Amino acid sequence: RAIEGLQEPNGSSLKNIEKYLRSQNDLASIFNNPVFQQRLRLGAKRAVNNGRLLKDGPQYRVNYGSLDSKGTPKYSSAFPASLPPVSLLPHEKDQPRADPIPICSFCLGTKESNREKKPEELLSCADCGSSGHPSCLKFCPELTTNVKALRWQCIECKTCSACRIQGKNADNMLFCDSCDRGFHMECCDPPLSRMPKGMWICQVCRPKKKGRKLLHEKAAQIRRRYAKPIGRPKNKLKQRMLSVTSDEGSMNAFTGRGSPDTEIKISIKQENTDVILVGSKEIVTEEDVEVFKQARELSLEKIGCKNSSETNGRYPSVIEFGKYEIQTWYSSPYPQEYARLSKLYLCEFCLKYMKSKNILLRHSKKCGWFHPPANEIYRRNDLSVFEVDGNVSKIYCQNLCLLAKLFLDHKTLYYDVEPFLFYVLTKNDEKGCHLVGYFSKEKLCQQKYNVSCIMIMPQYQRQGFGRFLIDFSYLLSRREGQAGSPEKPLSDLGRLSYLAYWKSVILEYLYCHHEKHISIKGMSRATGMCPHDIATTLQQHSMIDRRED
């Protein structure tokens, strides 16, 4: 109330707020309270923490970026007071722009009709051409005006404007409320350790502080740095003291835990040998290194691992999977006792991982699995597809993800498998159902992705199984009655596979339909493909062109 009543453009100090409140007749009874000033400071601090106020040095101003219970708009109506003007960065100038796709990726409308059947201009990504209505993107009019003047990127193509690296620490990326640029928290100026509350303006759009404002901010930083910590300080471990008496052969060790008078006596028998203290630089001798190397080579031979030096930084570098010995492409985060082995042995039915051939042979005699632990939903000739629920068969799905990471570079999901369904493709014979590949999808996905991760085992690649799984994912989308699309961004191999699949499906549809009027929505309903993917494929092959009205 006081800040809005004062109407100071640069904000109001606590002193001015107190003067204003004392001048109000309806608040006279409050000022008689002796703790009024303390409560006023506490209330201002809480308002800043809740995002209702913004603090700039000693000045406070209302934050219009958060919604209150009375329906306050997200941004104020006056553009200069709510959002600062924007400008292109040096690396954004003279950059090529992708051809815009004239379809909103959210409501599938055009610029003539948005979600509310009203005309609205589209915002298009400069990298991929994906478009969206500002109302679908939840952009205010001021932010929309700023974005149109910049080289805007969609959420899937967003790169950090400071380090210009895409895909790194995506969970720690902030988006400016003035220009919608992305910044990692560690790339901000100054770097941030946690997500800010309320409206956040990047260092590019933030007005430069000069004179007294900068002085107040630096003084506040110094006060916070040298302020006394609240609560009981943590006990620091004292430096350990070791004393060795050679005559009696005893060691007295004073540790940092407990009282300083605590003494631990360790007796050491000396038989004409030198005693080496912990912390000495001459702990490991060359003889020790040789003994260690011999023991390691002997242990690797015992468990059946040879050529331990040829790992090329991958662990494990080789896996034995059924009758195949497969060279891995990347490392996988197996548990610590398995992570540094050069060769790992896997059961091809339950996907359990083991250290040696002997353990695998013993396991195969006891393992009663001959197919994935799920219902078979498709079978033709010797091929089957099983639908595995990550919440029901958690261990199997975790082992499947660890196996897939050996052949996928950008896979990050290993243990949080409960929200996903896994569709496992197998090739069947008299011994059982052998794993060929799989794809996973989220059970409830707001973006309507029908594939989160897809992988074909190396021994079955280039045989059409990848296309089979892609086609099966779109079959599920058609059965669900909604268009689907793979999760972005795609890997290099995934992009090649999907572009080839989209091209062949679209050409087959055009070959079978000779009507004069063919719509992208009609193609989407018939094929299960997302209209955005259809339009992208048609543009890449120069089959449609943008018409200037």
Contact 177, 206 (CB under 8 A): no
Catalytic: 487? Answer: yes
Contact 60, 54 (CB under 8 A): yes
Token duo for residue 274: 């030198």
With 0-12 / 13-18 / 19 or more C-beta atoms within 10 angstroms meaning exposed / middle / buried, residue 202 is: buried
Intra-chain end-to-end CA distance of the chain, in Å:
51
The one-letter amino acid at 485: S
- The side-by-side arrangement of strands in the sheet containing 324-327 is 324-327, 318-321, 343-346, 353-354
Contact 220, 209 (CB under 8 A): no
CA dihedral 478, 482, 488, 490 (to 10 degrees): 10
With the C-alpha atoms ordered 317, 320, 324, 325, is the resulting torsion angle positive or negative? Answer: positive
Burial 411-450 (b: 16+ CB within 10 A, else e): bebbeebeebbbbbbbbbeeeebbbbbbbbbbeeeeeebb
Options 337, 487, 508, 515, the catalytic residue: 487
3-state secondary structure (DSSP) of residue 101: coil
Please tell me what DSSP assigns to residue 376: E
- Residues carrying an active site annotation: 487
